[in-house]
Amino acid sequence: MATEAATGIVPTRRPPPWHNPRIRGVVWQILFLGIVVALFAFLVHNTLVNLRRQNIASGFGFLDREAAFGIGESLIAYSPADTYARAFLVGLLNTLYVSALGIVLATVLGTVMGIARLSSNWLIRKLAQIYVETFRNIPLLLQLFFWWAMLRISAPAPRQAWEPLPGVLVSNRGFVYPVPIADPAHHWMLLALALGIIGAIAVSRWAKRRQARTGTRFPSGWVGAGLIVGMPLLVFLAAGVPLKLDWPELKGFNFVGGSAVSPEFAALLIGLTIYTGSFVAEIVRAGILAVSWGQSEAASALGLRPGQCMRLIVLPQALRVIVPPMTSEYLSLTKNSSLAVAIGYPDLVSIANTTMNQTGQAVEGIAMIMAVYLAISLLISLFMNLYNRAVALVER
Amino acid sequence: MADVDVTQELPLPVERPRPVTAGPLAWLRANLFNSIPNTILTLAALYLLAAIIPPVVRWAVVDAVWHGESGRACRAGGACWAFIAEKGRFILFGRYPYAEHWRPLFTIVIFVAMILASCDRRLWGRRLAILWLVGLITVGVLMWGGVLGMTYVETSLWNGLPLTLILATLGTVFAFPLAILLALGRRSRLPAVRGICVGYIELVRGVPLITVLFMASVMLPLFLPTGMTIDKLLRAQLAIILFAAAYLAEIVRGGLQAIPRGQYEAADSLGLGYWRRTRLIVLPQALAMVIPPLVNSFIGGFKNTSLVIIIGLFDLLGAANAALTDANWQGFYIEAYVFTAAIYWSFCFFMSRYSQMLEREFSKGRQR
């Protein structure tokens, strides 16, 4: 063509199709998928053949059968005559219970220790450092065994139980503590507590709006705490102090009355809290250090006291750095709660393990554990991402 | 204005004695008693220490029994270090034939030497890879035996600390190439490749290691063709490799994401293809950047190997538990766990200090 001759561009031959990146991409993907699918098909085929040969049933039919094994601790009613499905539910609730408690306690412990590591007090700083360096460098499983041995074997027998607080007894049967005997007034106290919480939220919202409008601060924290504690207390006093405690008593070789926490549960909770707390402490410390020094200096220059400076200036900014790694710490605590199987606390994995041993249906058992943990992980990630969005820096 | 007579002596203000600013007293005042809340905290901490330390010292040192034939020697109420004196070797080497204990001992020495050598940045590169290859082959020969006049020892007798070191190190060494492929796959622009890599990484990271180990110990035999079996140790090792790969992949991905776009474009403009660009330009920079988190991940893996006792292997912690079942030495849990914890702690503490040092050194270029 004339234009080609003018610009001097020599028309090249079309490149062969295997040089076309799009075609190559498609070919590579088909190859890759083919290999993955072939591998899967091979494994599934082998599994089916093996299952048939060993006469193992497949499918989730076993869930409706009678479990026929006892579970030491359960949040819901359970007996060996119940189904496997209910046993799984017991395990799931135990896992969620210990994980939720562990997350709360580890956050509190870790935050305190993280702040303590930055304290101006040398002794407190060093103690916090020793705590962090000791517990994060020892495997969690070993720590769980240690606490379990302390509580189950080294702890005194019920007769010589150790009594740190009146009525709270520590022995090799676990922690036993008094509980109030149920009274109709307690329901009203719960209602009052709910009202108190709603009131506290309302007061804090109003105080925030007023501060934004007029600049006057209102002690909404104290008033809120007063509402939350005071409302149930008022009901309690108005109902004529309906508090009768069910004290634990030594009868024979064990305690009767009160409520008890098993050594296994206590060991798991203590271990998870202390281990995860040491990681949380480092996250909190890094988060606080990430807030620039000028911020605290500016706060001091404005006349804020150290506590106010931490609460109003440093922590809100540190949270932005702290929340994402904290999410993965919570996830790993939840996954680590599966180590319960090693010390005999009936969590999900431990119950699935018993089920697999009884029925031989390993594939289904492991699939169920995996599905549950994936669901929990996704849920925690979702909530923490929502929270992260709430504390994240609002950019213009 | 009258001239000020500069020669006139002005009365000096009366100075109060200066507070002590040096010496131990001043240090105490500045660091422990500089305010009322701090004084209260210090006193509370001192009270706590006074409540904890004397009983612990009495248990661990004063009342402790250091020598003894059996557990009956330890009825004084103190720590029974005689148990460790008697069983320490079992905890370290497990059921490995007693006369051959020098072999696992050498294995430990080789591993410690290789870990120490890896800390030296001058050795990083091909030389270190060769060192590791030679070291691992030597470890294999030593542990298995069957050649050079050494008796054959089957893997079920590989217990204690050597097993922990083997599982942790091979778990990282073999997971690493897989992790790089997964991380590259996750950043690929081919949707099928990316989808499968994301699926694998998120699936494995979403479940506890225990389920992966269960899978390896219970389900892997089902996956294989009839008649084919895999050694129990190898199964656990495979599970650890597959598990670690997902975590390492996320770390490597972090490094890949930190490479500026210009590097990719420069490589493209030089006419490098995907693999050469990745191998020559991208990976060397990305991997150097993620070495500190890789060390941290190795520490995590080292601690996590203790989970293999749940599927019936005897690593360091498993051997400690096995030592506790001896009828002559019953009930010395605390001693056994303190001893084991001290070994784990020394490894992990050393490595975490090393990774902190690396982080400081690596960030030097970015500090001003």
With both helix axes pointing from N to C terminus, report the angle between A263-290 and A315-336 in degrees, rounded to the nearest 10: 150
Mean pLDDT throughout A105-119?
Answer: 91
Q: What is the least distance, in Å, from the CA of A109 to any CA of chain B?
A: 16
DSSP state at residue B64: -
Residues B305 and B175 in one domain: yes
- Quote the minimal CA–CA distance from B8 to chain A in Å: 40
Taking residues A3-18, what's their average pLDDT? 63
Partner residue opposite B193 with nearest CB, options A32, A47, A378 = A32
B227/B137 same-domain check: no
Tokens 């041993």, located at residue: A357
* pTM over 0.80, yes/no: yes
Nearest to A122 among B32, B344, B352 (CB): B32
Q: Give the one of A47, A369, A374 whose C-beta lies nearest to B222's C-beta.
A: A47
B237 and B197 co-located in one domain: yes
Give pLDDT, residue A1.
Answer: 45
Long-range pairs for B340-347 at CB < 8 Å and ≥24 separation? B340/A142, B340/B91, B340/B316, B341/A138, B341/A142, B341/A143, B341/A146, B343/B161, B343/B316, B344/A137, B344/A138, B344/A139, B344/A142, B344/B302, B344/B303, B344/B306, B344/B316, B345/A134, B345/A137, B345/A138, B347/B302
Q: What does the alpha-carbon distance between residue A76 and residue A64 come to, in Å, rounded to a whole number?
A: 18
CA-CA distance, B295 to B185, in Å (whole number)?
A: 23
Q: B194 and B146, same structural domain?
A: no
Domain assignment of residue B185, yes or no: yes
For residue A258, pLDDT over 80 is answered with no
Q: Chain-wide mean pLDDT for chain A?
A: 83
Q: Give yes or no for residue A249 having a pLDDT over 80.
A: no
> How high is the pLDDT of residue A394?
65
Handedness of CA B126, B129, B135, B137 (dihedral sign): negative
The answer to whether the Cβ–Cβ distance between A119 and B196 falls below 8 Å is no
Cβ separation A32–B206 shorter than 8 A? no
**A246: three-class secondary structure by DSSP:** strand
Please say whether the dihedral angle defined by the alpha carbons of residues B139, B144, B145 and B147, taken in this order, is positive or negative: negative
DSSP class of residue B22 equals S
Q: CB neighbours of A261 closer than 8 A, spacing ≥ 6?
A: A174, A175, A176, A177
Pair A67, A355: CB distance under 8 Å: yes
Residue B361 covered by a domain: no
**Chain A environment of B318 (Cβ under 8 Å):** none
Task: Look at residues B291, B313, B335 and tell me which one is the last residue of a structural domain.
Answer: B313
B47: closest chain A residue by CA: A123
How is domain A84-138+271-391 classified at the architecture level of CATH?
Answer: Orthogonal Bundle (1.10)
By Cβ distance, the residue of A139, A335, A362 closest to B218 is A362
Determine, for residues A369 and B211 on separate chains, whether the beta-carbon distance falls below 8 Å: yes
B148 and B272 in a common domain: no
Domain termination residue (choose one: B268, B285, B313): B313
Measured in angstroms, the CA of A315 and the nearest CA of chain B are apart by: 20
Confidence bin at A101 (pLDDT 50/70/90): very high
> How far does the CA of residue B61 sit from the closest CA of chain A (Å)?
18
**How far is Cα A255 from Cα B153, in angstroms, rounded to an integer?**
51
Chain length of chain B: 368
Residue A8 has pLDDT above 60, yes or no: no
Nearest to A106 by CA among A155, A143, A150: A143
d(CA B247, CA B201): 7
CATH of the domain at B176: 1.10.3720.10
Which pLDDT does position B10 carry in this prediction?
A: 65
Instruction: List chain A residues with CB under 8 Å of B293.
Output: none
Alpha helices by DSSP H, A57-160: 84-116, 122-135, 140-149
Q: What is the pLDDT of residues A313-349, one digit of tens each?
A: 888 888 888 888 888 889 889 999 999 988 888 889 9
Domain edges within chain A:
84-138+271-391
Residues B168 and B303 in one domain: yes
Question: Residue A2 has what pLDDT?
Answer: 47
Could you tell me the pLDDT band of residue A278, with boundaries at 50, 70 and 90? very high
- B192 and A336 within 8 Å at the Cβ level: the answer is no
Cβ contacts of B127-132, under 8 Å, gap ≥ 24: B132/B173
Whether B335 maps to a domain, the answer reads no
**How many domains are there within chain B?**
2
Examine residue B342 and state whether it is found in any structural domain, yes or no.
Answer: no
Q: Tell me: do B283 and B147 sit in the same domain.
A: no
Residues facing A245 on adjacent strands: A180
Asked whether residue B119 is domain-assigned, the answer is yes
Same domain flag for B142 and B286: no
Q: Which of B152, B180, B196 is the last residue of a domain?
A: B152
> Which residue of B32, B210, B363 to mutate against A (max A Cβ within 10 Å)?
B210
Both B145 and B177 in one domain: the answer is no
Query: Cβ contact (<8 Å) for B303 and A120?
Result: no
Which stretches in chain B have pLDDT values below 70?
1-11, 17-21, 76, 365-368
Residue B312, phi then psi, degrees to nearest 5: 90, 25
Q: What is the pLDDT of residue A271?
A: 94
Closest by CA position to A363, among listed A51, A7, A85, A149: A51
Mean pLDDT check: name the lowest of A1-5, A141-145, B152-156.
A1-5
pLDDT > 90 fraction of chain A, expressed in percent and rounded: 21
Kindly report the length of chain A.
396
Residue with more model confidence, A106 or A150: A106
Amino acid B349: pLDDT: 92
Domain span at residue B133?
Answer: 98-152
Low-confidence winner among A43-47, A67-71, A89-93 (lowest mean pLDDT): A67-71
- Does a structural domain hold residue B79? no
- Contact residues, chain B, for A46 at CB < 8 Å: 222-226
Taking the C-alpha atoms of residue B299 and residue B346, their distance in angstroms, rounded to an integer, is: 11
Q: Distance (Å) from the C-alpha of residue B88 to the closest C-alpha of chain A?
A: 17
Percent of chain A with pLDDT strictly greater than 70 = 94
Residues B189 and B251 occupy one common structural domain: yes
Do residue A121 and residue B42 have CB atoms under 8 angstroms apart? yes
Using the beta-carbon criterion (under 8 Å), do A377 and B331 form an inter-chain contact?
Answer: no
Note whether B175 and B134 are same-domain residues.
Answer: no
Question: Is residue B255 located within the same domain as residue B293?
Answer: yes
